C-alpha cells in the first residue's frame, strides 16, 4: 500500500481527503466539508484500527480540524479565546485557505504530496510533504504566493502544523499526554524535559472557549540556545510519540496549542510577536518557509528521537568512513599555538591512531592581544609561525596527519584592523552591533563574501588544509536593519551566511572535512548539521558533566557527527583518564591537553581506548541508542549513574558506556539487553564494576564514584 491514497469517506462533516502509508507511518489529510479547510495528522500505520472511535466520529466536528497551514497577515482578525499576544495561529487568513487540489508524485524514490490551498483574499499556500524511501520521518514546508495586485505583509507562517493528538485517548486524556523538549545553554546542552500537558497548563478550559498555548523557541543566531528546535508529544497510555523539529539556524518557534480535547503542534520561523518578523510579499512573488521534520512511533523517547536524527542527511566524505580520531590543540596551547608547539605534540602523537590534527584559535593573534580579540584579519602570527601556515600544514602531512585549521569567519575582534569597517557590519537602529568585543559581518554585502574568499578560502586552499573548524562565538540578538522588519533582515543575513558556507564547501576539495562550532554546541540544529561532517558537542571541556551532555545529544544528533572533548592532564589519575576517554565513545573522540607531559602509563591508557574505539567505530556510526539510568539533576555536582547501550543495526553488537557519578548508588544494576547470546569481547576502564552477563542482562556493581567503563559485547542471535 506504500504511497497509495484513498478519497471519499465522510464522517460527521469531516471527509478523509487522502491517506498514504509511507514506511511504517500512516499520513491522513482531512477536509472540512463545509469550510473546505484541510488538516493533517499521522499515526503509526500498525495502530490504524486502534484509533478511538469517538475521536474518529462523534467528536470530529468541523471546528476541531487543525488547519494544514497557519498564516497571519497584517490586519487579520485574530483567533478568539483570549489568544492575542500569545499566539498568531488560527487567524482569519488561516481559515480563508480552502482546498484547491492535491497531487502525489514519485521521483527517484521520493514521494511528494503537494496540497494547494487558495484564499479568496488574493493568495495561496502550497503545503509540500516529502517522504524519502527507507526514511522514518517526513519533510514538510510551505510556499506562500501573492496572487493579488498589491503587497501582502505576513507576520507568521508555519512550516508545519499537526493536529488530532492524541486520537487514542478518551476525552481530554487527563494525565496521559506529556510534552518533551530539550533545553540548552552554554556547556549544558540537551537537557531532557518531560512535562504533563496539565503541568504545562495545556488543559482545556471548562467551556472550551479559552486557548492555552505554549510558544517557545529562540531569537538570534544561536539556534539551540535555550531550547533545541524539537518538540514531542507522548500518549503514555498508547505508548505513541509524535515528534517534530525545525531546520533553521536563525530565530525559530514551536507552538503547542489547545482549545478542545486534542493538542495541536506547529512551528517554523519565529513570528512577529516572538521574533520581530514581518515579511512583505509583492504581487507575483513567492516565499518558502524552512523545512521541518515530522515522525511518529509506538515506542519510547529514544525511538522517536532516533527517527529524527536519522532523517538529517550529512555530507559524505572519503576520510570519514571509519570515524578517525581528532586531536585539537586548543586545550594544549590555550589559544597560543605555534609552529614549535605543534611540531612537538605531533611528534608525540605520530603513532597511527590519530588522523586529524587541528590548529585551533590563536594562530593569528596580535602582540599583547588574545585569540578572542585578534581575529578578522586572518594574518598568521609571524613569531609563532615563521614559516607560515603552509609549512606547518605540510609538516603535519609528512607525519601522516590531515591538518586542520580554525576560523571564525562571521565576526571580527576589536584588535583587528578590519574592526573599523563599520559600513560592512550588521546594524540595529542604525548603530553597529557589538557584543563581547565582536562585530558581525553583513553577509548580504558582496564585500563580505569577497573579503572572506580572499582571506579565508584562499589560505585553506594554499596550505592544503584537509579539515576546517568554523566557529561562532556570539549571537546577533533580536534582529538587524535592512529590511521591512528586524527579523526579516536577520533571516536574509542568515541565508547569506549559509550561502557562503555552501560556496566554501564547493570551492574546496571534496574530501575536506568541515566542523561547525558555536561557543561549543549552540549550532546543533538540523540545518547546520546537514552542512557539516562534525559539530562540536559543547564547551564542557573538562567537567564531570561531559558524559551526561554527550548522552543527551544521542537524542538530537548522530553520534558519528558529535565531537566530544577528551582532555587529558598530566596530573590525571588512571581512573580520571578512563572516565574521560569512556565519554568519548559516546561520539567522536577529540583529544587535547598535556600530551607531551604524560607519563608512559597515562599515554598507554589513552591509546588503549583509541585501539578499542577503532574496533567499535562501526557501531557508533550506524546504530540505535538506549539511555538507561536515573535522571541527573545537577550537571556541576552529578549524582547517580548512567549507561548508554549503542547497538549496531543488526543488534548483534553492543557498545555499553557506563559512568558513575557521586555516591550514593544502588548496590547492583541490571541492564536488559536485546535478545541474544551475549559475550563480552573487550572492556576498557578501571574494571571496578564487576561486569557480568547472564540471561540477556548485564549486571554491575556501583561501589565507586566517577568511574567510566566501556564494554564491547557480541551476540550470536537466538533463532526463533
Q: Would you say 341 and 333 are in contact if contact means Cβ atoms under 8 Å apart? A: yes
pLDDT of residue 717: 67
pLDDT of residue 80: 77
Query: Strand pairing partners for 300?
Result: none
pLDDT of residue 526: 98
Q: Over the stretch 37-87, which tens digit does the pLDDT of each residue have?
A: 999 999 999 999 888 765 544 433 434 689 999 999 999 987 777 888 889
Q: Pick the residue with more confidence: 686 or 572?
A: 572
pLDDT of residue 427: 98
In the sheet with 14-22, reading across from the earlier edge strand, the strands are: 9-11, 14-22, 25-32, 38-44
Q: Would you say 174 and 197 are in contact if contact means Cβ atoms under 8 Å apart? A: no
Grid coordinates given for 691: 561486569
Q: Over the stretch 548-602, which tens digit does the pLDDT of each residue have?
A: 999 999 999 999 999 999 999 999 999 999 999 999 999 999 999 999 999 999 9
Q: Over the stretch 596-625, which tens digit does the pLDDT of each residue have?
A: 999 999 999 999 999 999 999 999 999 999
- What percent of the chain is helix, strand and coil (3-state, nearest 5)? 25, 35, 40
What angle, rounded to 10 degrees, do the helices at 388-398 and 339-349 form? 10
What angle, rounded to 10 degrees, do the helices at 574-584 and 546-553 form? 10
* pLDDT of residue 207 exceeding 70: yes
Q: Over the stretch 415-463, which tens digit does the pLDDT of each residue have?
A: 999 999 999 999 999 999 999 999 999 999 999 999 999 999 999 999 9
pLDDT of residue 718: 53
**What superfamily would CATH give domain 318-536?**
Aldolase class I (3.20.20.70)
Cα 695 from Cα 413, distance rounded (Å):
60
pLDDT band for position 120 (cuts 50, 70, 90)? very high
* pLDDT of residue 174 exceeding 80: yes
Instruction: For residue 470, give the nearest of 528, 544, 398, 548 by alpha carbon.
Output: 528
What is this structure's pTM?
Answer: 0.95
Look up residue 66 and give its DSSP letter. P
pLDDT of residue 233: 98
Mean pLDDT value across the chain: 93
User: Measured on CA atoms in the order 43, 45, 47, 53, is the torsion positive or negative?
Assistant: positive
Cα 213 from Cα 66, distance rounded (Å):
14
3-state SS class at 610: helix
User: Average pLDDT in the 315-333 region?
Assistant: 96
Residue 353 has φ and ψ, to the nearest 5°, of -90, -30
User: Average pLDDT in the 143-170 region?
Assistant: 96
Q: Over the stretch 217-229, which tens digit does the pLDDT of each residue have?
A: 999 999 999 999 9
pLDDT of residue 304: 98
User: Measured on CA atoms in the order 531, 555, 176, 87, is the torsion positive or negative?
Assistant: negative
pLDDT band for position 3 (cuts 50, 70, 90)? very low
pLDDT of residue 58: 40
Residue-by-residue DSSP string for 2-42: BT-----EEETTEEEEEEEEETTEEEEEEEETTT--EEEEE
Q: Please give the share of the chain, as a percent, with pLDDT higher than 90.
A: 87
pLDDT of residue 231: 98
pLDDT of residue 62: 36
pLDDT band for position 545 (cuts 50, 70, 90)? very high
CATH of 626-716, one of 3.30.750.24, 2.60.40.1170, 3.30.460.80, 3.40.640.10: 2.60.40.1170
Cα 200 from Cα 307, distance rounded (Å):
25
Q: Where are the alpha helices (DSSP H) in 287-418?
A: 301-311, 330-333, 339-349, 371-374, 388-398
Amino acid at each position: 500500500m506504500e504511497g497509495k491514497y484513498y478519497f471519499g469517506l465522510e464522517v460527521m462533516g469531516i471527509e478523509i481527503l487522502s491517506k498514504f502509508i509511507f514506511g511504517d507511518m500512516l499520513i491522513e489529510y482531512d477536509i472540512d466539508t463545509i469550510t473546505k479547510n484541510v488538516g493533517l495528522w499521522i499515526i503509526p500505520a500498525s495502530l490504524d484500527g486502534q484509533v478511538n472511535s469517538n475521536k474518529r466520529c462523534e467528536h470530529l466536528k468541523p471546528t476541531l480540524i487543525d488547519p494544514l497551514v497557519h498564516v497571519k497577515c497584517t490586519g487579520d482578525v485574530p483567533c478568539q479565546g483570549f489568544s492575542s499576544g500569545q499566539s498568531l495561529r488560527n487567524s482569519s487568513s488561516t481559515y480563508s485557505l480552502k482546498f484547491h487540489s492535491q497531487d502525489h508524485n514519485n521521483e527517484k524514490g521520493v514521494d511528494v504530496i503537494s496540497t494547494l490551498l487558495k484564499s479568496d483574499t488574493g493568495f495561496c499556500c502550497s503545503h509540500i510533504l516529502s517522504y524519502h524511501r527507507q526514511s522514518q520521518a517526513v519533510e514538510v514546508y510551505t510556499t506562500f504566493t501573492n496572487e493579488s495586485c498589491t503587497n501582502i505583509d505576513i507576520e507568521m507562517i508555519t512550516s508545519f502544523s499537526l493536529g488530532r493528538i492524541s486520537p487514542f485517548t478518551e476525552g481530554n486524556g487527563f494525565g496521559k499526554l506529556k510534552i518533551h523538549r530539550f533545553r540548552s545553554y552554554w556547556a549544558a546542552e540537551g537537557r531532557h524535559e518531560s512535562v504533563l500537558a496539565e503541568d504545562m497548563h495545556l488543559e482545556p478550559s471548562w467551556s472550551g472557549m479559552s486557548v492555552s498555548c505554549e510558544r517557545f523557541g529562540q531569537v538570534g543566531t544561536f539556534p539551540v540556545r535555550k531550547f533545541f528546535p524539537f518538540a514531542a508529544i507522548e500518549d503514555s497510555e498508547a505508548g505513541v510519540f509524535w515528534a517534530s523539529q525545525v531546520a533553521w539556524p536563525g530565530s525559530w518557534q514551536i507552538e503547542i496549542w489547545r482549545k478542545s480535547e486534542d493538542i495541536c503542534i506547529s512551528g517554523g520561523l519565529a513570528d512577529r510577536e516572538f521574533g520581530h518578523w514581518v515579511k512583505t510579499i509583492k504581487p507575483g512573488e513567492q516565499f518558502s518557509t524552512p523545512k521541518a521534520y515530522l515522525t511518529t512511533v509506538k515506542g519510547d523517547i529514544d525511538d522517536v528521537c532516533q527517527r529524527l536524527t536519522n532523517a538529517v542527511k550529512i555530507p559524505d566524505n572519503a576520510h570519514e568512513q571509519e570515524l578517525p580520531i581528532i586531536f585539537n590543540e586548543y586545550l594544549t596551547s590555550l589559544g597560543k599555538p605555534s609552529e614549535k608547539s605543534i611540531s612537538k605534540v605531533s611528534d608525540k602523537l605520530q603513532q597511527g591512531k590519530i588522523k586529524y590534527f587541528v590548529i585551533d584559535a590563536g594562530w593569528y593573534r596580535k602582540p599583547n592581544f588574545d585569540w578572542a580579540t585578534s581575529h578578522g584579519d586572518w594574518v598568521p602570527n609571524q613569531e609563532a609561525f615563521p614559516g607560515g601556515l603552509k609549512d606547518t600544514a605540510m609538516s603535519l602531512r609528512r607525519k601522516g596527519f590531515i591538518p586542520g585549521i580554525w576560523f571564525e569567519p562571521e565576526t571580527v575582534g576589536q584588535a583587528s584592523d578590519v574592526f573599523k569597517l563599520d559600513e560592512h557590519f550588521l546594524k540595529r537602529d542604525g548603530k553597529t552591533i557589538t557584543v563581547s568585543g565582536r562585530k558581525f559581518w553583513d553577509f548580504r554585502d558582496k564585500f563580505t563574501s569577497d573579503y572572506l574568499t580572499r582571506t579565508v578560502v584562499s589560505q585553506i586552499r594554499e596550505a592544503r588544509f584537509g579539515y576546517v573548524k568554523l566557529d561562532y562565538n556570539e549571537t546577533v540578538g533580536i534582529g538587524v536593519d535592512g529590511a521591512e522588519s528586524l527579523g526579516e533582515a536577520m533571516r536574509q543575513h542568515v541565508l547569506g551566511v549559509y550561502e557562503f558556507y555552501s560556496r566554501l564547501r564547493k570551492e574546496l576539495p571534496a574530501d575536506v572535512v568541515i566542523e561547525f562550532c558555536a561557543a561549543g554546541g549552540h549550532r546543533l540544529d538540523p540545518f547546520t548539521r546537514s552542512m557539516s561532517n562534525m559539530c562540536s558537542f559543547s564547551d564542557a571541556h573538562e567537567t564531570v558533566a561531559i558524559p551526561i551532555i554527550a548522552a543527551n545529544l544521542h537524542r538530537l544528533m548522530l553520534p558519528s557527527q558529535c565531537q566530544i572533548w577528551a582532555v587529558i592532564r598530566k596530573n590525571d589519575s588512571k581512573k580520571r583518564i578512563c572516565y574521560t576517554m569512556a565519554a568519548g565513545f559516546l561520539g567522536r573522540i577529540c583529544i587535547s591537553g598535556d600530551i607531551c607531559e604524560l607519563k608512559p602509563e597515562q599515554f598507554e591508557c589513552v591509546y588503549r581506548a583509541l585501539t578499542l574505539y577503532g574496533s567499535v567505530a562501526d557501531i557508533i556510526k550506524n546504530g540505535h541508542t538506549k539511555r538507561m539510568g536515573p535522571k541527573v539533576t545537577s550537571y556541576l555536582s552529578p549524582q547517580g549513574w548512567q549507561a548508554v547501550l549503542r547497538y549496531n543495526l543488526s543488534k548483534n553488537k553492543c557498545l555499553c558506556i557506563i559512568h558513575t557519578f557521586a555516591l550514593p548508588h544502588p548496590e547492583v544494576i541490571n541492564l536488559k539487553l536485546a535478545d541474544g547470546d551475549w559475550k563480552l569481547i573487550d572492556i576498557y576502564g578501571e574494571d571496578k564494576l564487576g561486569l557480568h552477563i547472564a540471561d540477556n542482562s548485564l549486571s554491575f556493581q556501583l561501589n565507586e564514584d566517577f568511574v567510566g567503563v566501556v564494554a564491547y559485547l557480541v551476540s550470536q542471535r537466538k533463532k526463533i
